[in-house]
Amino acid sequence: MIELALVLATPFATAILLALFGHRRGAAEINSAGSLLTLVAAAALTIHIISDGPMTVYDEQFFVDPLNVFLIALTALVGFTTSLFSGPYMRVEHDHGRLSSARLRLYHSMFQMFMCTMLTALSTNNLGILWVAMEAATLTTVLLVSLYRTPASLEAAWKYFILCGVGIAQALFGTILIYFAAERVLGQSGALLWTHLDAVKSHLEPTVLSLAFVFLFVGYGTKTGLVPLHNWLADAHAEGPTPVSAVLSGLLLNVALYAIIRCKVLVDGALNTHFAGNMMMAFGLLTVVVPAFYLSRQKDVKRLFGYSSIEHMGLITFAFGMGGVASFAGLLHMTVHSLTKSAIFFAVGHAAQMAGTQIIDDIRGLVKMSPTIGWGLMLGSLAILGMPPFGVFTSEFMILTTSIKHYPWATPILLTALGVAFASMFHKVQGMVFGEPTVRPLAHNPALLPVFLHLGLVLMLGLWIPPYLAEWYRQAARLIG
Amino acid sequence: MIPTFLHAIPLSSQVINLCAALMLLLAFAMLAQRRVLTLINLFMMQGFVLFVSTLIVALTTNQHELLVSAGITLVLKVIALPLILHRLIRKLSVKWDIETLLNIPTTMLIGIALVIVAFNVAQPISQLSGTITRATIGIALACVLLAFLMMITRSKAVPQVIAFLAMENGLFFAATSATYGMPMVVELGIALDAMVGMVIGGVFFFHIRQQFDSLDIRQMERVKEG
């Protein structure tokens, strides 16, 4: 109980602190310290849940079970490593005059606030609060995306604000419909609490629930970046500061997907059909295919990896849509995608700073100027493209084999999309990493520990999933169904 | 003389139904409106209708929590947000007419189609409705969709934000009148988000204007393939 309070209160308190002192020297260190404290609290919470099982606390408003505790731990971990990376990165940006001290304060404070909203969304039991936290996460990231205040970043942030605002409004309507259906069974108290809803889900009115799921899926799907509502994603990734791109890809998309999964569990229970699963499979498949063909046309390196994130979200959505063993694979893919993609963004951020541009054609010869950044980017890209022995290979392999078994028609489509993605991305990354250098070394020592820490974890997950982690995934996958 | 069939329906539900009709009417009026100042006034009126309907639901069902949310609606939607919007308009000294991407009659026709869709979608739900105000959930959905339409047919930043807030109005109406109130924490959260969203929108107006010398969203759209 105290652990959960710490997980939520630490980022909030740090955000307030940084709102006051975020422009001073040492703000980056406070940011990291706060994130480290959150990580420690999240680890303690995880141990607590593993030993004592699920718990509901604070008037049943918060609820932690194997599914969300795993995401809380992941979020806290990536949050911490991103804060380590952001220290030197932001210092370079500040030196280049792209950011004033006031902006730096806004950045630090909003980064922690963003962490706080995501952790709240993950741990809450109340579907209404889940919505509020998701909306708050949108608003904080709008400020982060527009941090540079350049025309392009304002455009990206405005697009993000409007599109996600519209999307999330649909999700609220879906939440209202769930309340409407639940109120008839549960009465007014507890009609939005997930644990209560889960207990009576077979008594909920199927027509209302299926309609509610459509709205919730469209709403949270917009935030997940599902096609055709993915337009904001690549812009937001390209124009915001790189640490923000890393947490957007690595964490926010997961949280939005988590919201969909929670709703799917309720709808499956009420309908006893594969309605929600089918919908997730259809849109998941579309989301894998469409961005794969956009990849080769990208000129901006961060947009390139933004599109790659869309593709992977599609794959995860497809996996959860299939259910069963694939849910296990989906959870694993969520983990490895978060770790790999944030590692790639860390490397890309420094690469873009060395080259002074994000245009792929102007970034050349990274390996010669800085072998660590070059190899970090190369290995990260190989990992995200599903090369063995990295963890992404394992999860993609599991998703594909499940699909061969139950939905054989989908397998060639998935394989084609993955092949196209490989061809278009590998070529671009190869050009950036090798060749005659056009890049200059950095003024500050980059923090590359996070890159290799993440890639190391992904490598480990590809070779060996620790038994307790596997058990944990299995429990969570059982919850999802 | 009151027609006999109306005796069966209590006065309060009749008023709520009236409010629902007014909400829809105002949503259409906003869709057709070309002037920003009038648009803000229409938004304020919609907020007021929302306040009245929430108040009536609160009084008839004796839910005191809803009184608080009626109060929030009054302060936020009828007083604070329109004031902020008016001040913004004055500061930015923009009183221009709104250009729409589609002409108004076409927009209205699409709007009518949307209302029909909304009613069809909401039909299975209204049949289940325990509350007497059956049609309200359909109307609330229609208001949301109309605001959505307004958002995509307007090219300037201020009307887009008003559309965003109008969408929130429709959702709030669904929450309070059709389901007789969501839990208080949720409503507080929604209100807070609307407020923060508005402030961020306001901050954005200035930056967009600084960068583009105009609040026209179309000017932002550089050619950005993919």
Contact B128 A146 (CB under 8 A): no
Contact A146 B167 (CB under 8 A): no
Q: SS3 for B221? A: coil
A291 has pLDDT over 90: yes
Contact A128 B193 (CB under 8 A): no
Interface pTM, i.e. ipTM: 0.84
Q: Convert the pLDDT of each residue in A403-418 to its tens digit.
A: 999 999 999 999 999 9
Which has the higher per-residue pLDDT, A375 or B221? A375
Q: Is residue B7 part of a domain?
A: no
Q: Residue B135: which residues within 8 A CB-CB, separation 6 or more?
A: B17, B20, B119, B126
What pLDDT band is residue A356 in, cutting at 50, 70 and 90?
Answer: confident
Q: Is residue A15 part of a domain?
A: no
What pLDDT band is residue B134 in, cutting at 50, 70 and 90?
Answer: low
Closest CB from B185, B192, B200 relative to A142: B200
Q: Which of residues 305-344 of A touch B (CB under 8 A)?
A: 307
Q: Tell me what the pLDDT averaged over chain A comes to.
A: 91
Q: Is residue B174 part of a domain?
A: yes
A151 has pLDDT over 90: no
Q: Is residue A344 part of a domain?
A: yes
Which range among A214-218, A461-465, B187-191 shows the weakest confidence by mean pLDDT? B187-191
Q: Is residue A39 part of a domain?
A: no
Searching chain B, which residue's CA lies closest to the CA of residue A204?
Answer: B128
Q: How far is A93 from chain B (nearest CA, A)?
A: 20
Q: Is residue B2 part of a domain?
A: no
Q: What pLDDT score does A285 carry?
A: 95
Instruction: Tell me, yes or no, if A155 comes closer than 8 A to chain B by beta carbon.
Output: yes
Q: Tell me what the pLDDT averaged over chain B comes to.
A: 79
Task: Take residue A419 and report the two structure tokens written for it.
Answer: 């092949």
Q: Is residue B181 part of a domain?
A: yes
A-B CB pairs within 8 A amount to 124
Task: Take residue B7 and report the two structure tokens written for it.
Answer: 């005796």
Q: What pLDDT score does B226 carry?
A: 39
Q: Is residue B87 part of a domain?
A: yes
B224 has pLDDT over 50: no
B178 has pLDDT over 80: no
Q: What pLDDT score does B223 carry?
A: 39
Q: What pLDDT score does A283 carry?
A: 95
Q: What pLDDT score does B225 carry?
A: 40
Q: How far is A394 from chain B (nearest CA, A)?
A: 30
Q: Is residue B140 part of a domain?
A: yes
A122 has pLDDT over 60: yes
Contact A184 B125 (CB under 8 A): no
Say if residues A239 and A452 touch (Cβ distance below 8 Å): no
Q: What pLDDT score does B1 carry?
A: 47
Q: How far is A442 from chain B (nearest CA, A)?
A: 30
Say if residues A143 and A65 touch (Cβ distance below 8 Å): no
Distance (Å, rounded) from C-alpha B174 to C-alpha B190?
Answer: 13
Q: Which of residues 276-305 of A touch B (CB under 8 A)?
A: 294, 297-298, 303
Contact B222 A128 (CB under 8 A): no
Q: What pLDDT score does A308 carry?
A: 95
Task: Take residue A254 and report the two structure tokens written for it.
Answer: 């997961």
Q: Convert the pLDDT of each residue in A64-96 to its tens digit.
A: 988 899 999 999 999 999 999 998 899 888 888
Q: Is residue A64 part of a domain?
A: no
Q: Is residue A286 part of a domain?
A: yes
Contact A180 B221 (CB under 8 A): no
Average pLDDT over residues A290-297: 92
* Percentage of residues in chain A having pLDDT higher than 70: 100
Q: Is residue A237 part of a domain?
A: no
Instruction: Tell me, yes or no, if A157 comes closer than 8 A to chain B by beta carbon.
Output: yes
Query: SS3 letters for chain A?
Result: CHHHHHHHHHHHHHHHHHHHHCCCCCHHHHHHHHHHHHHHHHHHHHHHHHHHCCEEECCCCEEECHHHHHHHHHHHHHHHHHHHHHHHHHHHHHHCCCCCHHHHHHHHHHHHHHHHHHHHHHHECEHHHHHHHHHHHHHHHHHHHCCCCCHHHHHHHHHHHHHHHHHHHHHHHHHHHHHHHHHHHHCCCCCCEHHHHHHCHHHCCHHHHHHHHHHHHHHHHHHHCCCCCCHHHHHHHHHCCHHHHHHHHHHHHHHHHHHHHHHHHHHHHHHCCCHHHHHHHHHHHHHHHHHHHHHHHCCEHHHHHHHHHHHHHHHHHHHHHHCCHHHHHHHHHHHHHHHHHHHHHHHHHHHHHHHCCCEHHHCCCHHHHCHHHHHHHHHHHHHHCCCCCCHHHHHHHHHHHHHHHHCCCHHHHHHHHHHHHHHHHHHHHHHHHCCCCCCCCCCCCCCCHHHHHHHHHHHHHHHCCCHHHHHHHHHHHHHHC
Task: Quote the domain boundaries for residue A389.
Answer: 274-481
Instruction: Tell me, yes or no, if A125 comes closer than 8 A to chain B by beta carbon.
Output: no
Contact A151 B181 (CB under 8 A): no
The number of domains in chain B is: 1
Selection from A112-126, A189-203, B11-25 with the highest mean pLDDT: A112-126
What predicted TM-score, i.e. pTM, was given to this entire model?
0.91
Which range among A176-180, A212-216, B8-12, B66-70 shows the weakest confidence by mean pLDDT? B8-12
Q: What pLDDT score does B133 carry?
A: 59
Instruction: Tell me, yes or no, if A130 comes closer than 8 A to chain B by beta carbon.
Output: no
The number of domains in chain A is: 1
User: What stretches of B129-156 show up as alpha helix (H) in DSSP?
Assistant: 136-153
Distance (Å, rounded) from C-alpha A455 to C-alpha A451?
Answer: 6
Q: Is residue A180 part of a domain?
A: no
Q: Convert the pLDDT of each residue in A359-399 to its tens digit.
A: 998 888 888 888 889 999 999 999 999 998 999 999 999 99
| Contact residues on chain A for B176, CB-CB shorter than 8 A | none
Task: Quote the domain boundaries for residue B17.
Answer: 13-91+102-209
Instruction: Tell me, yes or no, if A131 comes closer than 8 A to chain B by beta carbon.
Output: yes
Instruction: Tell me, yes or no, if A179 comes closer than 8 A to chain B by beta carbon.
Output: yes
Q: Convert the pLDDT of each residue in A314-340 to its tens digit.
A: 999 999 999 888 999 999 999 999 999
Q: What pLDDT score does A130 carry?
A: 93
Contact B137 A180 (CB under 8 A): yes
Q: What pLDDT score does A226 carry?
A: 92
What pLDDT band is residue B59 in, cutting at 50, 70 and 90?
Answer: confident
Task: Take residue A163 and report the two structure tokens written for it.
Answer: 């599109």
B104 has pLDDT over 70: yes
What pLDDT band is residue B132 in, cutting at 50, 70 and 90?
Answer: low
Q: Convert the pLDDT of each residue in A5-37 to its tens digit.
A: 999 999 999 999 999 887 778 889 999 999 999
Q: What pLDDT score does B45 carry?
A: 94
Distance (Å, rounded) from C-alpha A257 to C-alpha A442?
Answer: 37
Q: Is residue B32 part of a domain?
A: yes
